[in-house]
Structure 1
Amino acid sequence: MRRVSKIAAASIATAALAFTATACGESSTGGSGSSEGGKLKIGMAYDVGGRGDNSFNDSAARGLDKAKKDLGAETKELTAKTGETPADREQRLASLAEGGFNPVVAVGFAYKDALDKVAKKHPKTTFGLVDSIAEAKNINSIVFTEEQGSYLAGVAAANKSKDGKIGFIGGVDIPLIKKFAAGFQQGVKDTKPDASVQIQYLTTGTDLSGFGSPDKGKAAANGMLDKKIDVIFAAAGGSGAGAIEAVAGVKGAWAIGVDSDQALDPSLSKYKTSILTSVVKNVDAGVFELAKSIKDGKPKTGTSTYSLAENGVTLTTTGDHLKDVQAKLDEAKKKIVDGAITVKSTL
């Protein structure tokens, strides 16, 4: 098992493709799974929302698109459904492995338990798991220091807020999303100690619908805006689109996006002037580098951590809304990278 701790991450901007829905609510594209001449075949199992969520899944999709373009890969994509069982996730992963796809990439922490089981049954297949650390030896766990990127977003929010009233909307109250909240709150407080951060989660426990419910994101944001909160960071997958829409309806308020540069998303373009920045996790880089390792005959396994130091997490600058605070952001980033600031990953 080869451990990887430092990876050069690059944000890849490629065009999203349109795909059709198949039975059981899953989307599927690409080949039938037959292997021809050793061609690289990548299976992708998306989280709820799938390709087109304008956020987390789309970031993974960009890595897949780059692999298709640069490595000539054949691909197949399947998408999770809200409320599905662990057995559904196991079946999805197993079907890709049995179809000859290698690697098979599971996008999202919800796949961890299913992947640990499936990977052991398919030892000759290399799997990727985004946002969680798996146990099996043939899995590449692709994780990020979300709290570090969120800290910088907190610095930006504190500097942009008129009265220091700031909000955080998390999709689900799980440890992963709490990493975003913890870093964001610390960044705000370190910058403006008197500022307040209201933290709200859309769903709890095993209810993952908080990642795919724009209506819930919009309602939560409207509640915060009613309290005169003027900067809202939504780490909520597809639900964040609703929060962004709500913020755009209030003059002088700012939204902070997540996982993809949401100011560049066509479906959110009419709100782009209200999107201060987005905290991006370069999932695309992790997906592409895993695919390339298979192509090169040196499958990547173990844990690959994408940190702020390696631009694994970044703040976007679309719209130049951060120009007046960029020097402060650069200073904060340097302190994190140098170890002068340790960013908390729990509240």
Structure 2
Amino acid sequence: MTKYLKGLAVLGAVALVVTGCGSKPTESNSASGGNGGSKSNASAKDFRACMVSDSGGFDDKSFNQTSYQGFQDAAKELNIKTSTAESKSDSDYSKNVGGMVDAKCNAIVTVGFKLGDQTAKSAAANPNIKWGIVDYDIAATDLKKTGLKEVPKNVKSLLFDTAQSSFLAGYLAAGMTKTGKVGTFGGLPIPTVTIFMDGYWEGVQYYNKVKKKNVQVLGWSEQSQKGLFTNDFENKAQGKNTASNLISQGADIIFPVAGPAGLGGLQAAKASGGKVNAIWVDTDGCKSAAEYCDVLLTSVYKGMDVAVKDVVTTAADDKFDSTAYVGTLKNDGTGLSPYHQWDSKIPSELKDEIGRLKQDIIDGKITIKSKAQPQSK
């Protein structure tokens, strides 16, 4: 992926924090000096990068946390000031984004589909600020809903075709199930969630086709676009109940696409005593949620940290480009994480098949049909 996202420098940071209240940021700590950064200390001192999380918060062990890591990496390497706003609920978005504007941020990165409308409106009102948004295609902004006359030109969308990598995860799940049933559930029925579920569903169907099997997917149908959702991303108890519902129907591999609520699904798998396992999303679960590594076959990762780091770096270096970035299997913007503790348990033949499927998707021999795939390519 570094082939596509370039220009990353070295060391130091000044951090200011807003925690879901939209108030004026206050300085909390600083790091002095620089160590060969791409900008001079004087220039770095004048540049402020900012980030707003969605309601999952920066410690969600999922996409907010991974995006935040990239933001922190850029701040340390560039020796720049930072401000962050951690949203506690959807009602915080307007206040928190406004707080970053008031803090005179030079670049603002927002995290999550639900921040799309607010980002579009704020970017249009503040054309001198460079914006990045994770998991939202700014080109698809509803102008009537937002009241805008045109899509703002100062926003870079960071998108990920996780239908491709989830296809591989679905094939893996189908190859590893003992009950002939695998399950998935989402947080909300939005494209950045259903894209995982579509790919997973397609991967299972492909396995059935080539192996002449009949593995069932519980919790989602790409054809009907109907399935199981927790209806939020924070309620772990609801996630556990939803996973338990799938397990009671016979699913022995769970694919939760629900942020922190999905951790409840991992809890349900862990409590099964080895009968049920799972596949995580957004980041390598064996690193972000190591306590569940023993039940994780793999994870479908998104290179949000590298993409966010690139936005901040190019903005600081006056090389910002608002052309949408789309992470794919080809550019390593998405893929499957290592098998970790399952490496010796997954048959080598199955791992080889998944490797060939990955290349077939890259080469266009297999076409993913999900309508939730990013259109800005």
TM bucket (normalised to shorter chain) is 0.7 to 0.9
> What is the Cα deviation at residue 182 of structure 1?
0.8
- Picking from 14, 21, 24, the partner of 1:24 is 21
- Aligned match of 1:201: 228
2-side partners of 1:139 and 1:318: how far apart?
36
Please state how far the C-alpha of 1:29 moved relative to its aligned partner: 7.8
Q: Among all aligned residue pairs of Structure 1 and Structure 2, give the percentage whose two residues are the same amino acid.
A: 30
The structural deviation recorded for 1:22 is: 4.4
Greater relative contact order: 1 or 2 (C-alpha under 8 angstroms, separation 6 or more)? 1
RMSD: 2.6
Instruction: Indicate conservation of the 8 Å contact 2:284/2:299, yes or no.
Output: yes
Alpha-carbon contact 1:53-1:238 (below 8 Å) kept: yes
1:56 corresponds to which letter in structure 2?
Answer: F
Runs of 4+ in 1 over 4 A off after TM superposition: 18-23, 25-32
| 1:248 is aligned to 2:253 | no
* 2:61 alignment counterpart: 54
Aligned equivalent of 2:293: 272
Task: Give, in whole Å, the separation in 1 of the partners of 2:103 and 2:22.
Answer: 19
1:163-208 Cα deviation digits (max 9, x unpaired): 320001111112221111111000011012411101243245xxxx
Alignment-mate amino acid for residue 7 of structure 1: Y
Preserved CA contact (<8 Å) 1:171 1:236: yes
TM-score, length of structure 1 as denominator length: 0.86
1:345 corresponds to 2:352: no
Look up the match of 2:235: 213
1:273-313 per-position Cα deviation (integer Å, ceiling 9, x unaligned): 10111111111111100111112211121211111111100
Q: How far did 1:245 drift? A: 0.8
Partner of residue 65, structure 1: 72
**Is 1:321 equivalent to 2:337 in the alignment?**
no
Unaligned runs of 5+ in 1: 1-5, 10-17, 205-209
User: How far off its partner does 1:120 sit?
Assistant: 1.3
Specify the alignment match of 1:207 in structure 2. Answer: none
The amino acid of 1:37's aligned partner reads: A
* Mapping of residues 1-347 of structure 1, within 5 Å: 7-8=4-5, 22=19, 24=21, 37-39=42-44, 40-84=47-91, 88-134=92-138, 135-193=151-209, 194-199=214-219, 200-204=227-231, 210-250=232-272, 251-265=274-288, 268-322=289-343, 323-324=346-347, 325-346=350-371
Q: What is the TM-score with the length of structure 2 in the denominator?
A: 0.79
Cα 1:151–1:337, aligned 2, differ >3 Å: closer, same or farther? Answer: same
Higher alpha-carbon Rg: 2
Amino acid at match of 2:55: V
Residues 230-289 of structure 1: per-residue CA shift (max 9 Å, x gap): 001011111111100101111232111111111123xx3332110111111111111100
| Residue 13 of structure 1: aligned partner | none
Give 1:104 shift.
0.1
Aligned length: 322
Whether the 8 Å contact between 1:153 and 1:187 is mirrored in structure 2 is yes
Deviates more, 1:49-58 or 1:314-323: 314-323
Distance 1:99 1:19 in 2: 10
CA distance in 1, matches of 2:178, 2:96: 48
What is the SS of the residue equivalent to 1:132?
Answer: coil
Deviates more, 1:182-191 or 1:69-78: 69-78
Q: Secondary structure at the match of 1:233?
A: strand
CA distance in 2 between counterparts of 1:344 and 1:110 reads 24
The separation in 1 between residues aligned to 2:256 and 2:16, in whole angstroms, is 27
Return the letter of the residue paired with 2:281.
Answer: V
Q: What is the CA distance between 1:27 and its match in structure 2?
A: 12
Distance 1:98 1:51, change over 3 A: same
In the TM superposition, residue 8 of structure 1 has moved relative to its aligned partner by 4.5
* Alpha-carbon separation, structure 1, partners of 2:27 and 2:302: 26
